[in-house]
Chain A
Amino acid sequence: MLQAKLVICVLSAFIGTGAFTVSKAVASGDRASQVDFFETKIRPVLIEHCYECHSAKAGKAKGGLRLDSKQGWLVGGDSGPAIIPGKPDESHVLLAINYSGDMSEMPPKSRLSSEVIHDFTQWIQDGAVDPRQVEGAALEKKAIDVEAGKKYWAFQPRRTFAEEDSIDRLARPKSPPATADKLVRRLFLDVVGLPPTLEEQSEFQAVYSNESPERAVEVFLNDLFGRKEFGEKWARHWLDVARYADSNGSDFNLTYPEAWRYRNYVIKALNDDLPYDQFLLEQIAGDLLPYDTLEQRNQQLVATTFLMVGPKMLTERDKEKMRLDIADEQLDTIGRATMGLTLGCARCHDHKFDPIPTTDYYAMAGIFHGTLTTDGILMNNVNVSGWKETDLLINDDETQRLQAFRSKIKSIEEKIQQKQQRRELVLGSAVGVLVDDSDATRKGTWRKSTHRPKYVGDHYLVADNQKSPFSIEWKATLPNPGKYELRVSFRGGKGLATNVRYTVHHAEGEDQVVVDQTVLPSIDQLWQPIGQFEFDTKAVVSLADTATDKPILADAIRLVHVEDLEKDRPTDTSSLDEEIKQLEKTLAGIKKETPEIPRAMAAQDNESERIGDLHVRIRGETKNLGERVSRGFLQVVNWNGAAQFSIPTHESGRVQLAEWITAKENPLTARVMVNRIWQHLFGRGIVETSDNFGVRGALPSNPELLDFLAEEFVEGNWSVKSVIRKIITSKTYQQAVADVLDGADEKSQFQKQYRRPAPAETIRDSLLAVSGKLDGESRDSVVSELGMHAIESNGKRHVSLGQTGKLRQRSVYLPVVRGAVPPSLAVFDFPNPDLVTGKRAITTVPAQALFMMNSPFVYEMSYALSLLLLQNNVTIEKSIQQLYRRVLIRQAGRDEVSKGKKYVAELMEEGQALEQSFASFVQVVFCSAEFRFIE
């Protein structure tokens, strides 16, 4: 609080009210006079300036503080007691009205006069006598009742189930199975995000009718689970939740060149059916886990990119605030993604709805504060933070080979450095006093250059724009007065000025010497003596405007006492120069051969001194410190044995956090994940708010079903594929969609299936697939051509960002540059990658219609499919039938064929070619609602 004291003194001095010194003498005395002082000096000010926001009458207690009674300020607000009688310099009210910078400035609109501040100081000093009693509701700090909070359903343990329980038993489906066409389409779009081919359709149909719908689904599901397209479809669901992007967005939209590794990690994890608990563990603490192979280590490192792909305010100049902001972003993401809890809400105050006190928040934020994800600076700007990257070594041989290269590089670099030092020594060892251009005073436009083979120091200067005045002045301090030879350095040559005028200020006055820089200097081809002069101990040499349009060089000057001229040793560095040149050449060669080591955007624990517990930040303000809280987890999520997950002091605690989240007993984690899976297969979660299982979230519409799935998930070793299989092989999933809403209850309890819009990726990938244009290959980086800035601050962007419509890979491999999401995805509710999005918005807006009607992408797909269907000169009827089969996965009705035929014929009558006319019809089918929905 010493600081606060200082502020007050400084302020009083600045305001110039010298009269005000803090002392008891002025207004002490009996209580009556103190009350009088309060009534005349203090109460009116409180009423006029404070009550508006801090009184029962106004119904406001901003910052939790009321100032309309003594008890109000004694209890205080979020920052604790507002006034400490007798201690003005520790009283928040005084700090606030002083605008000291340590507290919010109050009153917010304008500062009180210095007299008033003086009165308050004195009043507090004298004991802050305040006769006012509590008005309105009594003042009590409301504390969160964690024990009561535990009773909420989401924090309760899961139910247990009988052997015979099943999805169908719990959901009680009401409709018959979907037709083969509908079912095969639903199955393919849901599992791999691509429509079935004609052959697959008929195979499915065969099993469906010869055996049973269930059997057909089972057979194909096995097949689909074996395809890499499964991971490519389901990875996107997790990437939504992981707010994945290939660039930072935010203030500087920098490219994340290595983020793609994480995207591919997620795809692989799903295809390999990596147990979900392990999947989370690796993403939260992969860098800290043991490993058997380097490959495993790398995979685990890449997984932690999860912590880092969020948007960051890299230019935040208050770096502690930045670290807290980043920890907040990470914590909030993990809370929502894994447990459906909005932890971020507890940063500034206790969670308003969920039983999460601020202390719990900081207990967990401490874990991420101790984690290193930002590192170094970017763009050579101390205000711009960079992020952590780590080498990914593939095997021991490679490690050794790389180390060999690195040590070679290091030794050559050291050699070069030594030679350069020698060279400088040689140059510097020459007798006399040397002043280089970097120590000279210059004006006007000089350009640094190293173009010529010889110069002193790092560079020399060139003036080649003589439009504006320029000059340079070297000042030398000499050891003794006397006669000195003045030498100037420049590597002469063709094209330079012939009339460079040096002015020499010496003991006897001033002389001008004109030098022709086209001639090579006489000493070492670098130094030109320009005369001998008498100096005191100061020599000033200058070079100024010269009437020439040729470049002028300026480098160093040297003054050699005439008596030392004979002692002068040669300063020839040419052999050294040659050696350096050779070494640099070798170095470049080795660098070229060095294997490029892949790097990952990966987290690591901070150095031990930065690991530790955090102070609560009152109201979330970086500098407003509250109590220090031990790192730990949520009190409300508790079970027998939860206490074992305690964090050792020297570790960040991420391992323990991940183990706590993925403990079998954690009531939230499994429920949240199975609910997400369910949502992707029914268009709606059992808990509709899939990212919020808190008090403000929805209740589970079928709690038994939710718990049943969660229990199966945990007992089935957290296998995601098993949960998907259980759901898809149920009658509940396979039933036909109901056409009319017959009641909200049935919908939410999943007694029926309902039509739902296909996600953006499914629409785009299907268009590509049916048109024969899909490039099914996997991709690595898709942002490598973007350079450092994905989008420059002035809006300039690489041309490729405007041409994503030309890319043919699956949607999961499209670049996700924040602020430039490909339109083909963005218009169909692709989520904003700044946010954790478990449940995408569902909109039907004109932008989608415009895209389908007018985008080159849809034109092109329509035309491609038109050509494909018309080849081999089949009839139009046949082509239309094929079109319906391929695109809508059903037979075309007879009237649909005839209408289509008429449509094409009419366009052709108007003079359109057959392919165009048919493409126009294909586009209509693409635009249809039927294509955009899953039934």
Chain B
Amino acid sequence: MSQCHQFTTSHNRRHWLQSTACGFGALAFQAFAQRIARAAESSFDHKPRAKRVIFLFMHGGVSQVDSFDPKPALTEYNGKKLPFKGIENLDVSLKDKAGYGNLLDTPWKFQQYGESGAWVSELWPHLAKHADDLCFIKSMHTKGTSHGQAVSMIHTGNDNLLRPSVGAWVSYGLGAENENLPAFISITPPAGHGGTRNYGSAFLPAHHQATALGHSASKAEDATIDYLQPDGAHSVHQHRQLEMLHEMNKRHFEKSQDPQLDGVIRSYELAARMQGVAPELIDLSNESERTRKLYGMDRKETLDFGHRCLLARRFCEAGVRYIQVSTPYVWDQHNNLVKGHTRNALSVDKPIAGLLEDLKQRGMFDDTLVVWGTEFGRTPVVQGKNGRDHNPAGFTVWLSGAGVEAGFSHGSTDEFGYFAQDNKVHMHDLHATILHILGINHEKLTYRYAGRDFRLTDVYGEVVSDILA
């Protein structure tokens, strides 16, 4: 690694930058940049409140009534029948035997925190300390009773068809802040439930897709970008190879003046720069003990997700626009709610709180939007003996950082926490709001494909202006 690092930061990088600045490269790049700018320009019709987004994805479905949306009625009516019609197409056995199921009280205690008095359950003790930094949306609803649909919905705004993911739209709209890195990074993205389509670019140009670090089943410390570095023996002479290659390609280009060939030259330059920058970003060895502790990396239970969150902060600092961090597919507690949610919340609570704290300490909290979400919530009625089924009709997400009202709660569910009731926010609305906070009008950020102008929110979506700071 040291070799290639030297290479890109010293003599050769300069040499290259010079060569491209004088050659066709610079011109082509400018033209390209202008084209992109024109495409997206019309969608910037207000001042951005955030420069970038960290999206924390809890894969499997976090229970709202056990986390942030307490319902005293659940305690009172524990074990009783749900007094109204539940969601169609949920667990068949549940519907046949007991109407729409029996209510299940939350096993966790809730308490109010901070000046805002936000309710948080004992599952989230560390996050609770940040209650005044959070902006809850407790009236979320989405499309899709199965994971495949809802996971696709939260990532791409469509429950069925292949569409560009939120991060790809952001990359398309804003471009990269750091020209040595892609604009969209997905740390350990889900490999199931659509896998790559959840962070792909679909019909948007390919460079808007996420650069993935591993996948959700991989350990954070092993997660890296494919082919980022030459293997040992090859690293020794790679700088020579690149010089030789550059000469060959340049000659070829000079003869023909074909911009396509210049594109190849630039891609090798960019790759070499990335090769110089990214390994250092992924390597956490220079993070202090204090920081590691802040993210819970001193404990076995929180080490892995702490690692993921710390990577997110580093990419954030380096100027990546949209960073997604995913948990493995673990939150799907059809049974053993207590065991599962306890273990899962334990593994992410401290790391997420650490991330918020760290962003503050580094002055990035004010221009970074943090979104915590899950594909759907869970039913307040019991499934099996001790579980909860999927609930796309009402659940909670929270936002924090740039652009959102801190210590605020928007919307509500019914008295049992089943259906979103007041100030309902659809997944499309959440997407519209995220784009809005980045300064993008979701109705104007479009891309023409197959004869139609597509957008992230299809024909839906409304900015939830109540939560904007």
Contacts and interface: CB of A to CB of B under 8 A. Distances in A.
Interface in A661-719: 689, 691-692, 694-697
A829 interface: yes
B285 interface: no
A845 B210 CA distance: 13
Contacts of B38: none
A766 to B, nearest CB: 16
Contacts of B280: none
A933 B226 contact: no
A508 interface: no
Contact of B328 (A794, A845, A921): A794
Interface string A906-925: 11001010001100110111
Contact of A795 (B90, B217, B226, B426): B217
Contacts of A924: 241, 244-245, 248
Interface residues of A, number: 87
A111 interface: yes
Contacts of A558: none
Contacts of B89: 317-318
A325 B192 contact: no
Interface string A855-871: 11001000000000000
Given A791-B192, A853-B241, A930-B248, A739 B227 contact: no
Contacts of A791: 191-192, 195
A804 B237 CA distance: 26
Contacts of A841: 205-206
Contacts, number: 234
B451 A342 contact: yes
A291 interface: no
Interface string B328-345: 110000000000000000
A133 interface: no
Contact of B450 (A691, A851, A920): A691
Contacts of B152: 251
B245 A794 contact: no
Contacts of A917: 237
A924 B148 CA distance: 43
Contacts of A823: 226-227
B227 A853 contact: yes
A212 B422 CA distance: 80
Contacts of A834: 162, 197
A111 B252 contact: no
Nearest to B218: A795
B257 A739 contact: yes
A721 interface: no
A862 B225 CA distance: 23
Q: Which of B90, B245, B328, B450 has the most CB of A within 10 A?
A: B450
Nearest to B328: A794
Interface residues of B, number: 85
B451 A697 contact: yes
B448 A845 contact: no
- For the residues of A in contact with B, the DSSP-based class is loop
A739 B256 contact: yes
A849 interface: yes
Q: Which of A853, A932, A933 has the most CB of B within 10 A?
A: A853
Contacts of A85: none
A110 B240 contact: no
A250 interface: yes
A696 B252 contact: no
B234 A854 contact: yes
Given A336-B450, A794-B328, A920-B241, A928 B252 contact: yes
A820 B237 CA distance: 31
A797 B203 CA distance: 26
B452 A843 contact: no
A395 to B, nearest CB: 42
A170 to B, nearest CB: 26
A929 B217 contact: no
B400 interface: no
B160 A325 contact: yes
A801 to B, nearest CB: 10
Contact of B238 (A757, A795, A829, A853): A853
A819 B451 contact: no
Contacts of B85: 101
Nearest to A354: B451
A712 to B, nearest CB: 28
B192 A755 contact: no
A345 interface: yes
B190 A912 contact: no
A108 interface: yes
A746 interface: no
Contacts of B329: 793-795
A850 B252 contact: no
Interface stretch (B123-131, B258-266, B304-312, B361-369): B258-266
A696 B452 contact: yes
B197 A819 contact: yes
A14 B237 contact: no
B133 to A, nearest CB: 26
A907 B227 contact: no
A313 B450 CA distance: 22
A382 interface: yes
Interface in A788-804: 791-797
Contacts of A829: 206
A110 B423 contact: yes
A859 B234 contact: yes
B424 interface: yes
B426 A755 contact: no
A847 interface: yes
Given A251-B193, A318-B89, A849-B268, A740 B256 contact: yes
B458 to A, nearest CB: 10
A265 interface: no
Interface in A242-290: 249-253
Given A317-B146, A791-B192, A848 B229 contact: no
Nearest to A7: B85
Given A109-B424, A929-B265, A854 B231 contact: yes
A694 B225 CA distance: 40
Given A354-B451, A854-B230, A819 B195 contact: yes
A844 B241 CA distance: 19
Contacts of B238: 853
A76 to B, nearest CB: 18
B469 interface: no
Contacts of A845: 206-207, 267, 270
Contacts of A910: 236-237
Contacts of A111: 421
B318 interface: no
Nearest to B257: A740
Contact of A835 (B90, B195, B203, B216): B203
Contacts of A691: 450
A250 to B, nearest CB: 6
Given A835-B202, A849-B271, A694 B257 contact: no
A383 interface: yes
A933 B261 contact: yes
The 9 closest A-B pairs by CB, nearest first: A251-B148, A696-B451, A819-B195, A795-B191, A795-B217, A793-B192, A849-B271, A317-B89, A846-B271
20 contacts: A251-B149, A251-B194, A313-B146, A315-B147, A317-B145, A325-B160, A795-B195, A832-B162, A834-B197, A843-B205, A845-B270, A846-B274, A847-B271, A850-B275, A920-B240, A928-B245, A928-B249, A928-B252, A929-B252, A930-B248
Given A820-B195, A849-B272, A928-B245, 14 more contacts: A250-B194, A253-B195, A345-B452, A739-B255, A795-B190, A795-B218, A818-B195, A819-B195, A848-B267, A853-B241, A854-B231, A929-B248, A929-B260, A933-B260
Interface of B: 83-85, 88-90, 92, 145-149, 152, 159-160, 162, 190-197, 200, 202-203, 205-207, 211, 215-218, 225-231, 233-234, 236-238, 240-242, 244-245, 247-249, 252-253, 255-258, 260-261, 263-268, 270-272, 274-275, 328-329, 421-424, 426, 448, 450-452
